[in-house]
Structure 1
């Protein structure tokens, strides 16, 4: 039987507060983000890929009127505008080894705080591991209050899987999510890979996403399912 041609369309990610599931694994970070009263006016938010850093940054920006910029996209001409209000700088460790971007972030850090606005910075690991080459910048980041998103518990992993499916307009039964929570690697990145693999395989074989299909993907690995397309 010929396989259906499939198209890997991008998922439409929902980034509102109502789309963020709070569990013991992230409750402290959510509370710190929501408080918006940070010592020195700055906060570092860390967590593994897919843990919700970008989601929380968007929630925070919507509630404060803040702007969001990737650290690697910082430019000299953008600094005054960014510093004129609350600003979130994402993926700061990406500019380790980039002295020019680090100097720009240092300038943004000082100007934003001098004007009395909040500064949020994100990265996968705790700030002590960001290995920035500019000592003054690294020390100021390490001196910021730190909120960590922890690896997911069962409730959070199930909610993340459900959201990833809904982002792709997929609605598998609760038995599918329960099976995945029990048997898959316990990480946000693994959840994203697994949902993508199930989407590709279900589309290629013109099947609903069932527990049996989930068993196949986990037994073969998400990459194996992707190789069919």
Structure 2
């Protein structure tokens, strides 16, 4: 009888000591650490699962910043002066209430002289912002970009994802996966999640054979 697999929440480690620095992210990390941002604001850009949230949490932890999801901006009064992180700012585009809230937050943070860090998947010109004043403010924001992952970073992300799920794997499995998987952080997350679910359902260890099965399954699902 197969074991029931429960989709329990995974609590990722988001400290600075858990952030692996590589050529793909070192410039973005340096830009955030420098802190001398034009108008006190910075936009961190990178694809889904590229480490934006992790790096934003590192910055927030260093500065005692409050972290707010862009989708929740409409539910917040203007915060007390202090550093703020707005996650997934691009998802607010097309929402009139959210766009106005982000516009007012810009003005509030500038007046308070407090730093504002925003994260997004792409540059503001691609968001489809309807509010002209917000569009101009976002397009004038300095940016730091997370680049496509290299082998070392993909390997480190896989190790972290397995550790977040408390999955023990053979060290040789990591380079084997890196050489065969799609080169994205999203693919790494899907692979580890599927391996976790399949190993739990079958009550077996995460092996190369199981990984090969997962890679074949994900390849079949790709349009």
Aligned residues: 221
Aligned to 1:18: 17
Superposed, 1:200-215 pairs within 5 Å as: 200-215=197-212
Q: Secondary structure, in 3 states, of the residue corresponding to 2:78?
A: helix
Structure 1: stretches of 5+ with no match in the other structure: 225-229
Provide the secondary structure at the position in 2 that maps to 1:174: coil
Quote the Cα distance in structure 1 between the aligned partners of 2:198 and 2:219. 10
1:178-222 Cα offsets, whole Å, 9 max, x none, are 111000111111110000000111111111111111111111228
Query: Structure 2: where are the runs of 5+ without partners?
Result: none
CA 1:40 to 1:202, structure 2 compared with 1: closer, same or farther past 3 Å?
A: same
Q: Structure 1 residue 189 and structure 2 residue 186: aligned?
A: yes
Partner secondary structure for residue 103 of structure 2: helix
Question: In 1, are the aligned partners of 2:66 and 2:84 still within 8 Å (CA)?
Answer: yes
RMSD: 1.4
What's the counterpart of residue 158 of structure 1? 155
Paired position in structure 1 for 2:97: 100
Distance in structure 2 (CA, Å) of the matches to 1:182 and 1:52: 21
Please state how far the C-alpha of 1:5 moved relative to its aligned partner.
1.6
In the TM superposition, 1:30-41 aligns within 5 A as 30-41=29-40
Structure 2 matches for 1:67-216, cutoff 5 A?
67-75=66-74, 77-81=76-80, 84-216=81-213
Alignment TM-score, normalising by the size of structure 2: 0.95
